[in-house]
């Protein structure tokens, strides 16, 4: 069962887990004597208690919530989290990821959501991210901070943040082997080793191989990965940890389908894919990070961090081949000061972070325009462009929680950000020197643009401890998002930062049935979507939409039913999201719905568990129909798919085996859609979901 924490206060923890007996006053603090928990890698129980200091919808997904079934990628880990949209095409590892409608039109990677490992970013310096580098197979647990609840890590984005907490030698001692296999030549093999040494040092290492052919043409993926960390203790108040990530990836990029192709009513060659050999290969991806925490006075804490990332890949089989390399590095400092003011508990958090990075891309021939614009336009392999880009983002944030009464806490916070984006393109040659009317003629020209962005984001929240088991909260916040390096400049001008003012209200609690509900309403200014291109009537480009609304309901229910006659239990859960994302009186798109994210989506699961270790049960994933374009002319139909899991987990936890069946009815459906400004009804815009598949797996702890 997943653990849900829609939390309201940023002061001292207000009560212990709502699923157990709790303390009703805000000032009470629980101390966990857990050798597997420290300031840099707290246990799930400690994190669950700490997360209750947030005035908004925050949740925690433990490794034990998803490791007893096949996990094809991040989408399987986040499938039961309301407000989080993570869908993978054809069973691939890398999903389309959005929280509360963030980053809908991001042309490359994910924008609007900050992904972190132990509080340090996995995103590049301009805020973009490839979710393939967010490794769910080396997560002790994940914290999901929706919207402004991510301010603790300096993330003031519309979507929020996901923080991956790493395993350590303390939390995962011994040797563990995992093996999964199944349909579409799926294979995942992983070995993890953890060790604690006599001098207090500990080490964790993981080596894994992941591969699948996918359930659709052109969806093969292979990933080899190493992750390790080394922790050491200077003394009881000073600890450090070094992290190493290394990944090599080869991935075919699945071509979107038309409505007829999706449902098997047309050949996959009618129309043919634009680029049937579209693929990406990393060479490789490397990340180094170090953190050090010092408990310098009572409960006062300061944490220092630094990281470096080096990413290179080849993008092949598309318009032009691209060789890309990026280097990003950053530092962060975060402090926590706990005092009493006027006899009331006060918790002050401050932080500073700076990220800086640069990238270099080279484009080469041959030039292959997509159908129906023509055949091979330029067969020569010489270089077209040299593209240099750089980004800097600096953030300062302050947050304070004060207990007005034993049951009421006031939270105030603010974040200031300054960011710079620059892109320089040197055109070495143009494949269309004599054809200025070509739609690609203007792509090959010299460009040198830069822009500075400055903004701040305040936040105000309240938490009310209604009784022993229930809380109410509300908060008002603002987000400020500078554009990415791809989005900050279109063909005519630089874009402005995206801003949003968000109001959120929610509650959580329950004893027999645990419930968690939040409602949010965001007024978004200058959202980065698609706008008409003034130089090409009928065409669109990236830019700022003046006004939009993002509103929604996030609901989670869970419980445990005793089956006394069978000496067993039945766990159940429901996750439901209602979204209302739309333009607001736009000159081009009026009040149309925003595309990509369905208005309704969620999941239901029921699991029967026998004391012997046998577990069995179905789960259902569902989503309503959704538009693929801002003009609301092309829509993907809704769907509901049924999965089933049968497994055995030994009571000693020394081994687990399972069988996991997906999409039992073999339904054809669109897991996600492309983002299009104005589509036609025959356009290829739908990314197919996983077909009926069967997976088996085993985990052994030696």
- More confidently predicted of 14 and 441: 441
Q: State the Cα–Cα distance between residues 82 and 601, nearest whole angstrom.
A: 8
Residue 653 pLDDT > 90? no
Average pLDDT over residues 569-581: 96
376 pLDDT tier (thresholds 50, 70, 90): low
Comparing 517 with 106, the larger pLDDT belongs to 517
Confidence tier at 28 by pLDDT (50, 70, 90): very low
Look at residue 57 in the predicted model and tell me its pLDDT: 94
Q: Quick one: how far is CA 195 from the chain centroid? A: 30
* Bridge partners, 109 (sequence order): none
Q: Are the C-beta atoms of residues 43 and 36 closer than 8 Å to each other?
A: yes
In this predicted structure, the answer to whether residue 551 has a pLDDT above a threshold of 90 is: yes
As a whole number, mean pLDDT of residues 244-259 equals 93
User: Which of 87-96, 220-229, 252-261, 283-292 has the least mean pLDDT?
Assistant: 87-96
Tally: H helices and E strands in the chain: 3, 34
Residue-wise pLDDT tens digits, 254-269: 889 999 999 989 998 8
Centre a 10 Å sphere on the Cβ of residue 4 and count the other Cβ atoms it contains. 29
Q: What is the pLDDT of residue 444?
A: 74
The residue-averaged pLDDT of 330-341 equals 94
Spatial separation of the C-alpha atoms in residues 308 and 365, rounded to whole Å: 32
**Which of the four pLDDT bands, split at 50, 70 and 90, describes residue 671?**
very high
Q: Can you tell me the distance from the alpha carbon of 357 to that of 423, in angstroms, rounded to the nearest whole number? A: 12
Q: pLDDT tens-digit profile of 65-93?
A: 998 999 999 999 999 999 999 998 877 77
pLDDT of residue 373: 57
pLDDT digits (tens, 9 = 90+) for 679-701: 999 999 999 999 999 999 999 99
* Tokens 């997906």, located at residue: 662
- Give the C-alpha distances (Å, rounded to integers) separating 494 from 111, 487, 676: 18, 8, 21
Q: Given this model, what pLDDT does residue 155 score?
A: 84
Angstrom distance (rounded) from CA 682 to CA 696: 38
Rounded average pLDDT over 298-302: 88
Residues spanned by the domain of 278: 3-258+266-701
What is the distance between the alpha carbons of residues 286 and 515, in angstroms, rounded to a whole number?
41
Q: Report whether 148 contacts 161 (CB < 8 A).
A: no
| CA atoms of 46 and 386, how far apart (whole Å) | 49
- Summarised one tens digit per residue, pLDDT across range 92-119 is 777 889 999 999 998 778 899 999 999 9
Total structural domains within the chain: 1
User: Residue 405: what pLDDT?
Assistant: 94
Q: Look up residue 427 and give its two tokens.
A: 């055109």
Asked if residue 48 has pLDDT above 70, the reply is: yes
Q: 367 falls in which pLDDT band (50, 70, 90)?
A: confident
pLDDT of 377 reads 67
Specify the pLDDT at position 378.
Answer: 74
Q: Is pLDDT above 50 for 2?
A: no
More confident residue, 596 or 109: 596
Q: CATH code at 76? A: 2.40.170.20
């Amino acid at each position: 069962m997943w653990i849900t924490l829609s939390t309201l206060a940023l002061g001292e923890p207000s009560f212990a887990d709502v699923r157990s007996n709790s303390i009703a006053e805000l000032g009470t603090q629980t101390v966990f004597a857990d050798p597997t928990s420290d300031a840099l890698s707290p246990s799930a129980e400690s994190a669950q208690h700490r997360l209750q200091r947030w005035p908004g919808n925050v949740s925690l997904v433990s490794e034990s919530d998803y490791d007893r079934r096949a996990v094809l990628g991040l989408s399987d880990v986040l499938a039961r989290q309301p407000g989080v949209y993570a869908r993978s095409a054809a069973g691939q590892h890398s999903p389309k990821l959005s929280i509360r409608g963030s980053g809908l039109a991001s042309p490359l990677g994910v924008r609007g959501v900050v992904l972190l490992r132990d509080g340090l970013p996995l995103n590049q310096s301009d805020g973009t991210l490839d979710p393939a580098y967010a490794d769910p197979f080396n997560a002790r647990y994940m914290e999901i901070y929706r919207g402004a609840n991510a301010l603790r890590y300096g993330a003031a984005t519309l979507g929020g943040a996901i923080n991956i907490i790493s395993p350590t030698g303390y939390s995962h001692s011994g040797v563990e082997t995992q093996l999964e296999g199944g349909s579409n030549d799926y294979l995942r093999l992983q070995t993890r080793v953890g060790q604690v040494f006599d001098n207090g040092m500990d080490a964790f290492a993981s080596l894994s191989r992941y591969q699948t052919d996918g359930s659709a043409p052109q969806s093969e993926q292979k990933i080899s990965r190493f992750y390790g960390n080394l922790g050491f203790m200077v003394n009881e108040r000073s600890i450090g940890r070094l992290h190493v990530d290394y990944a090599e990836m080869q991935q075919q990029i699945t071509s979107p389908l038309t409505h007829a192709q999706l449902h098997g009513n047309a050949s996959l060659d009618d129309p043919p894919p634009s680029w049937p050999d579209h693929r990406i290969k990393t060479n490789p991806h490397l990340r180094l990070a170090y953190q050090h925490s010092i408990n310098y006075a009572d409960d006062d804490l300061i944490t220092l961090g630094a990281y470096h990332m080096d990413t290179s890949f080849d993008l092949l089989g598309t318009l032009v081949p691209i060789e890309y390399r990026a280097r990003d590095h950053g530092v962060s400092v975060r402090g926590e000061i706990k005092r009493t003011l006027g006899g009331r508990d006060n918790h002050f958090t401050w932080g500073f972070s700076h990220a800086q990075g640069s990238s270099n891309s080279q484009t080469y021939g041959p030039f292959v325009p997509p159908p129906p614009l023509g055949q091979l336009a330029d067969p020569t392999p010489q270089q077209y462009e040299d593209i240099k880009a750089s980004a800097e983002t600096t953030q300062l944030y302050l947050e304070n929680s004060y207990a007005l009464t034993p049951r009421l806490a006031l939270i105030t916070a603010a974040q200031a950000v300054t960011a710079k984006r620059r892109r320089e393109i040197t055109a070495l040659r143009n494949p269309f020197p004599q054809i200025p009317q070509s739609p690609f003629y203007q792509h090959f020209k010299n460009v040198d643009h830069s822009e500075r962005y400055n903004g701040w984001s305040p936040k105000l929240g309240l938490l009310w401890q209604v009784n022993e088991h229930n809380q109410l909260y509300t908060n008002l916040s603002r987000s400020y998002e500078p554009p990415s390096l791809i989005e900050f400049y279109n063909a005519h001008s630089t874009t402005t930062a995206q801003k949003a003012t968000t109001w959120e209200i929610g509650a959580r609690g329950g004893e027999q049935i645990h419930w968690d509900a939040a409602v949010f309403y965001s007024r978004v200014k200058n959202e980065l979507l698609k706008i008409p291109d003034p130089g090409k009537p009928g065409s669109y480009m990236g830019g700022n939409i003046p006004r939009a609304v993002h509103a929604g309901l996030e609901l989670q229910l869970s419980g445990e039913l005793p089956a006394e006659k069978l000496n067993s239990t039945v766990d159940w859960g429901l996750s439901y999201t209602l979204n209302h994302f739309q333009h607001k009186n736009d000159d081009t798109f009026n009040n149309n719905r925003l595309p990509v994210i369905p208005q309704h989506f969620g999941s239901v699961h029921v699991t029967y568990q026998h004391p012997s270790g046998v577990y069995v049960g179905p789960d259902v994933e569902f989503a309503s129909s959704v538009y693929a374009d801002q003009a609301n002319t092309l829509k993907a139909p809704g769907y509901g798919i049924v999965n089933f899991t049968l497994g055995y987990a030994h009571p000693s936890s020394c081994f687990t085996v399972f069988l996991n069946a997906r999409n039992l009815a073999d339904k054809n459906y669109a897991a996600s859609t492309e983002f299009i400004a104005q589509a036609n009804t025959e356009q290829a815009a739908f990314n197919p979901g996983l077909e009926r598949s069967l997976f088996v797996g085993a985990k052994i702890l030696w």
